[in-house]
C-alpha cells in the first residue's frame, strides 16, 4: 500500500523529501497498528497533494512580498539620490511589482487558514507571484542599465538574491498544484468586501487619482496633477479590465 502511495505522490509532483517523510510517518503508524486502514492510496495521495500544494502556493505569495520590500526601498532611495535611475523601465517595473506582490500577499493572507485551496485559487496566486517577480526583475534590469553607482550595485545584489528566493518558492508551488475543485474568488474576497469587484476597482482608481491630484496641488502644479491623476486612474481601470480575470480580480 505504501509503495503504491509513493508512486501516486511522485506522479502528482510531491518532492522526494516530502515523500520520504510521509512514508516514514505511515510506516511508524502501521508499526503501532498493523491493521490500520489508511484508505485508498489514490485518494490519500490526492489529499496530500492538495494540502501541500496549498501550503506551497501560500508560501510563494508571502515570499514575493517579502522579496519585493528591499527591492522597493532600495529603488526608492536610488531615485532620490540619482534622478537618472527613474526611467520607463523602473516606473513600469515598480508598478507591476507592487501590484503583483500586494495581490499575492492579499490572496495568501485570505487563504491562511485554508487546509486545501481550490486549484483555481492556487493558480491565481501563482500568477500574481509571477507578476511580482517579473516586475521586480524589470526594475532591477532598468536600474542596471541606468547607472553603475555603488548603491545601484548593492540594490542589484540584494534584489537578485531576494527575487531568486521568491522564484524558488514559485517553482515549488508550480510543480505541486492542488487538484481540488472550486471557482476562483475575486477582489471582493481578497479585501473581505461585499462590494462588487468593478465597484472596488472604481473606488481604488478614484483614490489613486485623488492622491496624485493632491500631490500636484501641493507641488503648485495642479493642472499637471489633474492630467496625471486622470491618466493613472484610467490606467488602473484598463489594467483591471485586461488582467482582471487572469489575476483573479474579477470573474
Helices and strands: H and E segment counts in the chain: 9, 0
pLDDT at 35: 64
Within 8 A by CB and 6+ apart from 175, the residues are 13, 15
pLDDT at 3: 77
Within 8 A by CB and 6+ apart from 152, the residues are 78, 82, 85, 143, 144, 146
41, with CB counted inside 10 A (0-12, 13-18, 19+), is: middle
pLDDT per residue as tens digits for the range 69-86 = 988 888 888 888 776 777
pLDDT at 240: 93
Q: Among 31, 33, 32, 6, which residue's Cα sits nearest to residue 20?
A: 6
Beta strands in 46-195 (DSSP E): none
pTM above 0.85, yes or no: yes
* 146 within 8 A of 114, measured Cβ to Cβ: no
The full set of domain ranges for the chain reads: 1-184, 186-251
Cα separation of 169 and 232, whole Å? 32
Q: Among 213, 207, 79, which residue's Cα sits nearest to residue 151?
A: 79
* 89 within 8 A of 135, measured Cβ to Cβ: no
* Residue segments in the chain with a per-residue pLDDT below the cut of 70: 29-30, 33-37, 83
Within 8 A by CB and 6+ apart from 106, the residues are 190, 191
- CA distances from residue 216 to 16, 94, 101, 148, 223 in whole angstroms, order as listed: 56, 21, 27, 32, 7
pLDDT at 33: 66
Amino acid at each position: 500500500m505504501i509503495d503504491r502511495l509513493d508512486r501516486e505522490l511522485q506522479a502528482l509532483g510531491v518532492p522526494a523529501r516530502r515523500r520520504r517523510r510521509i512514508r516514514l510517518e505511515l510506516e511508524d503508524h502501521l508499526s503501532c497498528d498493523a491493521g490500520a486502514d489508511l484508505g485508498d492510496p489514490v485518494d490519500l495521495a490526492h489529499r496530500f497533494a492538495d494540502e501541500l500544494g496549498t501550503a506551497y502556493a501560500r508560501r510563494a505569495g508571502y515570499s514575493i512580498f517579502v522579496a519585493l520590500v528591499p527591492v522597493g526601498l532600495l529603488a526608492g532611495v536610488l531615485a532620490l539620490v540619482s534622478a537618472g535611475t527613474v526611467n520607463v523601465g523602473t516606473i513600469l517595473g515598480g508598478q507591476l511589482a507592487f501590484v503583483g506582490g500586494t495581490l499575492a500577499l492579499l490572496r495568501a493572507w485570505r487563504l491562511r487558514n485554508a487546509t486545501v485551496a481550490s486549484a483555481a485559487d492556487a493558480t491565481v496566486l501563482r500568477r500574481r507571484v509571477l507578476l511580482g517577480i517579473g516586475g521586480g526583475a524589470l526594475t532591477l534590469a532598468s536600474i542596471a542599465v541606468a547607472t553603475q553607482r555603488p548603491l545601484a550595485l548593492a540594490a542589484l545584489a540584494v534584489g537578485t538574491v531576494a527575487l531568486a528566493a521568491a522564484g524558488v518558492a514559485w517553482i515549488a508551488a508550480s510543480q505541486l498544484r492542488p487538484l481540488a475543485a472550486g471557482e476562483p474568488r475575486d477582489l471582493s474576497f481578497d479585501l473581505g468586501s461585499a462590494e462588487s469587484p468593478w465597484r472596488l476597482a472604481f473606488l481604488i482608481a478614484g483614490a489613486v487619482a485623488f492622491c496624485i491630484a493632491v500631490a500636484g496641488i501641493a507641488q503648485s502644479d495642479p493642472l499637471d496633477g489633474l492630467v496625471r491623476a486622470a491618466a493613472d486612474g484610467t490606467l488602473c481601470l484598463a489594467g483591471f479590465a485586461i488582467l482582471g480575470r487572469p489575476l483573479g480580480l474579477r470573474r
